[in-house]
């Protein structure tokens, strides 16, 4: 039962990532892409890792994955911020999407 729940979570996480990756390809504006990328690697990864924790069924593996998740949550935003910051420094400005908004 727990295993099935784990597989469902993995599926949901992969769906999050798929939507994110599709949107990255769809949008034209650089900043929109950065924001969407950060969504993929937090929401998708957290969901997938929780799913794997449930599937693994052992405390040691689950706790190791938790440590992995914590390290990713600490270092992931630094990369995103670095990319956005350097883009802003080199003069990228916001483009309007699809002529509205």
Query: 61 to 100, contacts with another protein by CB under 8 A?
Result: 63-64, 66-67, 70, 73-74, 76-78, 80-81, 84-85, 88, 94, 97-98
CA distance 38 to 36: 5
Which of 7, 31, 12, 13 minimizes the C-alpha distance to 91?
31
- The least CB distance from residue 60 to another protein, in Å, is 4
DSSP labels for 46-94?
HHHHHHHHHHH--HHHHHHHHHHHHHHHHHHHHHHHHHHHHHHHTT--P
- The least CB distance from residue 91 to another protein, in Å, is 13
CA distance 78 to 10: 25
- The least CB distance from residue 95 to another protein, in Å, is 9
- The least CB distance from residue 79 to another protein, in Å, is 9
> Which residues are at the interface with another protein (CB under 8 A)?
16, 19-20, 23, 27, 29, 31-32, 34-36, 38-39, 42-43, 46, 60, 63-64, 66-67, 70, 73-74, 76-78, 80-81, 84-85, 88, 94, 97-98, 101
């Amino acid at each position: 039962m727990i295993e099935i729940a784990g597989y469902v979570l993995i599926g949901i996480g992969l769906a999050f990532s798929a939507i994110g990756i599709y949107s990255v390809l769809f949008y034209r504006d650089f900043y929109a892409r950065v924001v969407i990328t950060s969504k993929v690697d937090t929401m998708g990864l957290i969901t997938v890792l929780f799913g794997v924790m449930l599937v693994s069924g052992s405390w040691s593996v689950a706790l190791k994955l938790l440590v992995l998740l914590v390290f990713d949550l600490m270092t992931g935003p630094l990369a995103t911020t670095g990319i956005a910051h350097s883009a802003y420094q080199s003069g990228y400005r916001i483009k309007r999407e699809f002529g509205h908004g």
